[in-house]
Structure 1
Amino acid sequence: MSPRLRAGVMAAIAVLLADQASKLWLLFSFDIAGRGAVRVTSFFDLVLAWNTGISYGWFQTGSASGHALLLGFKVIAVVVLAIWMARAQTRVVTVALGLIIGGAIGNAVDRLAYGAVVDFAHFHVKFGEKDLSWYVFNLADTAIVVGVAALLYDSVFGEPAVKAP
């Protein structure tokens, strides 16, 4: 395995482990379900949200066939991303894809174990009388967003792809 591919695989494993460890700790040691929302700072709370859909709660489903469809889509996406990662020519792209793969697998583990994805991070801010609130998310979601941002960065500022003659 090349050092570049190893970096992508290690990124995926690190995200998967950190994501699952944070969720297990919050669910079973911290008992976030029993505590309810916990204010950490004036702009950040820990709060348990079960997401039966995909990103931002889209396509919510409670049915077994809906869960199977979402898992099937995730498996296909991970396989396609893994093939892309194996063929990637730069470390940035390889690690970015590793972050996305690790996040996707982390959320898939939740769906298999609990029937929904465990979300817990909630950022919010108050401007006068107006409350601005972001979606509740987890470490896997963060890794996916960072991975996509790195792919966008590489597509704009990275080396142009060279086509074989």
Structure 2
Amino acid sequence: MQQVEADPSRPEAVRPPGTARWYPQVLTLAVVIVLVDQLTKFWAVSALTGREPFPLLGDLLSLRLLYNPGAAFSIGTGVTWIFTIVAAVAVAAITRAAWKVRNRAWAVALGLLLGGAATHLLDRLFRAPGFARGHVVDFIDYAGFFVGNVADICLVVGGALIVLLYLRGVEIDGRRDRP
């Protein structure tokens, strides 16, 4: 068997197989989510302001514009600035964790979380009523139980994927801690 010396100009030759960096993919997915979320919110504000809820699937799913100063289910409406800080910390922590990703599923999960957290942070920082007190635009009404947006969907799916990866024993670096 012929031995080949590693060429330092080729990163794949220096790193062991299967350790490709997924950081750019995490960031790209997050940027796409921010764009889609903000565009759908722009559409919702322009199309749904002053209108009655618009049913999509009977009473199960409809479009209804709300401005949420709190967290899920409008919890903490009087402390919007705290959610701004929490979103900023989440964005920083997820961005840092994303640097360690060596697994496609983890890259998708963290990209979903980063995109959702970043777009909520943008809402908190730049929407009315003012800097760091902004209200999140919600417009997808789930049978009257709660109203959310694209970022919320990404946060839930990303969180569920992380739980699944944890239960399957898949580490952020791609290793398995269980057979």
Same fold (TM over 0.5): yes
SS of equivalent residue, structure 2 residue 64: strand
Stretch moving more, 110-119 or 152-161: 152-161
Alignment check: 8 A CA contact 2:62 2:141 kept: yes
Is the counterpart of residue 79 in structure 1 residue 92 in structure 2?
yes
The match for 2:37 among 7, 19, 24 is 19
Is the counterpart of residue 52 in structure 1 residue 69 in structure 2?
yes
Match of 1:37 in 2: 53
Greater Rg, structure 1 or structure 2? Answer: 2
How far apart, CA to CA, are the structure 2 residues paired with 1:19 and 1:36?
22
* Structure 1 unmatched ranges of 5 or more: 125-132
Is the counterpart of residue 7 in structure 1 residue 18 in structure 2?
no
SS of equivalent residue, structure 2 residue 57: coil
The match for 1:68 among 73, 81, 84 is 81
Match of 2:107 in 1: 94
Cα distance change of structure 1 residues 123 and 60 upon mapping to structure 2, 3 Å threshold? same
Match of 1:128 in 2: none
SS of equivalent residue, structure 2 residue 127: helix
Q: How does 1:142-161 map to 2 (within 5 A)?
A: 142-159=153-170, 161=175
Q: How many residues are matched? A: 149
Letter in 2 for 1:60: T
Alignment check: 8 A CA contact 2:21 2:101 kept: no
Of Structure 1 and Structure 2, which has the larger fraction of its residues in helix? 1
Question: How big is the shift at 1:68?
Answer: 2.8
How far apart, CA to CA, are the structure 2 residues paired with 1:162 and 1:38?
46
* Structure 2 unmatched ranges of 5 or more: 1-19, 129-133
How far apart, CA to CA, are the structure 2 residues paired with 1:25 and 1:52?
20
TM-score by length of 2: 0.75
Q: How does 1:108-119 map to 2 (within 5 A)?
A: 108-111=121-124, 112-114=126-128, 115-119=134-138
SS of equivalent residue, structure 1 residue 40: strand
Please list the CA deviations of residues 12-50 of structure 1 after superposition, one character each: whole Å capped at 9, or x if unmatched: 01111110000001112x1x1221211122121100111
Letter in 2 for 1:4: W
SS of equivalent residue, structure 1 residue 47: strand
Please list the CA deviations of residues 89-141 of structure 1 after superposition, one character each: whole Å capped at 9, or x if unmatched: 312112211111111111222222232001111122xxxxxxxx421110000
How far apart, CA to CA, are the structure 2 residues paired with 1:143 and 1:90?
19
Query: What is the alpha-carbon root mean square deviation over aligned residues?
Result: 2.0
